[in-house]
A = this chain, B = another copy of it.
Amino acid sequence: MVGTDNPVLAVLCGEKHPPDMEPIEQLATVRYTRAEGLADALRGADVLFVYDFLSTAVPDAWPAADRLRWLHIASAGVDPVMFPALRDSDVVLTNSRGVFDESIAEYVLAVVLAFAKDLPRSIRLQDERTWLHRETERISGRSALVVGTGPIGRAIARLLRAAGLRVSGAGRTARADDPDFGTVHASSQLTRHLPDADFVVAVAPLTEQTKGMFDAETFAAMKQGARLINVGRGELVVTEDLVEALRAGQLAGAALDVFETEPLPQSSPLWTMENVLVSAHMSGDFVGWRNALVAVFVDNFLRWREGRPLRNVVDKRLGYVPSNG
């Protein structure tokens, strides 16, 4: 894949333009656009940079993409652009794998510890000026099952193990002696391994296979009193079933950074459940993340211009970047 002399780059922006684009503006005609202008921007464009990575505008504008060769999305999950016309096209798809690994791992450890040490209740008691001693949980020796064995799942596994938890993984293929997970169970046999886990972390890519995988049946198979942490995609979880499992006491808690509908609707029962931690799809978004995202794209753009292999090429049949190993 070799770039043209004066390529046209369309950039789908949200409220803000991406930072640090100067190196690219010297090498390409850059068309910054919001969703409503995307079709116009795509006409004649060689490359599309989906900076507004939660936008659902790409499928509608797709018929205008008359010479597109490469689409890069500023996120790890590529589900917003996995529509059939792109999947069946020759357009290469790359993502921003790697940027969020360590920050999401820190978020997961943060909520594991927040549950164990009952921090949400401490904060609510503090707001009522109430001094109430409680006994809290250890995390050392507790078990975590990380569902999703991509680089984010791996970073989570490493950090949770470093903090003293027993960790295993669930992925497409079962295997032993994984450097990060130790044991990886087959996701197809997930319910067999759920009863062992005190914390279940959902970080699988959203695909036809994983959509709704955390449903009533899954929750029934979990250890009573276990907690679910979702840092993947809201659609991995059947929210109604989760609410029911929490209300019934089958699950002791859930930390949810992603939701079937975002922003989470005002009417959602999740807001007021004391054993639920809601955050605004931000688990990976450390100070500097936007610069880091653009740096991944700039690096890939220079590769594309020079005809070198792109990084983070998504296998469009799988819906994610396959691991090397």
Binding site for B on A (CB under 8 A): 102-103, 106-107, 109-111, 113-114, 116-117, 119-120, 122-127, 129, 131-140, 159, 162-164, 262-264, 266, 271-272, 276-283, 285-289
Contacts and interface: CB of A to CB of B under 8 A. Distances in A.
Contact of A286 (B113, B136, B279): B136
B271 A126 contact: yes
Contacts of A137: 286-287
9 contacts: A102-B164, A103-B136, A111-B119, A117-B283, A131-B280, A135-B285, A135-B286, A162-B163, A162-B164
B140 A106 contact: yes
B282 A133 contact: yes
Which of A103, A136, A281 counts the most B-chain CB atoms under 10 A from its CB?
A: A136
A106 B266 contact: no
Contact of A123 (B264, B272, B277): B277
A10 to B, nearest CB: 25
B106 A116 contact: yes
Given A117-B106, A138-B102, A140-B102, A279 B129 contact: no
A111 B263 CA distance: 27
Contact of A280 (B132, B138, B272): B132
* Count of identical protomers in the assembly: 2
Contacts of A283: 117
A16 to B, nearest CB: 12
Contact of A133 (B114, B120, B280, B287): B280
Contacts of A107: 117, 136
Contacts of A281: 133
B113 A282 contact: no
A117 to B, nearest CB: 4
Contacts of A279: 122
Contacts of A159: 163-164
Nearest to A162: B162
A19 to B, nearest CB: 13
Contacts of A162: 162-164
B117 A110 contact: yes
B263 A136 contact: no
Which of A102, A116, A131 counts the most B-chain CB atoms under 10 A from its CB?
A: A131
Contacts of A286: 135-138
Which of A109, A113, A139 counts the most B-chain CB atoms under 10 A from its CB?
A: A113
Given A124-B123, A286-B137, A110 B114 contact: yes
A162 B280 CA distance: 28
A135 B289 CA distance: 8
Given A110-B117, A125-B280, 10 more contacts: A106-B140, A109-B163, A110-B113, A113-B113, A129-B271, A129-B272, A131-B264, A135-B282, A135-B287, A163-B163
Contacts of A140: 102, 106
A116 B127 CA distance: 20
A280 B134 contact: yes
Nearest to A263: B131
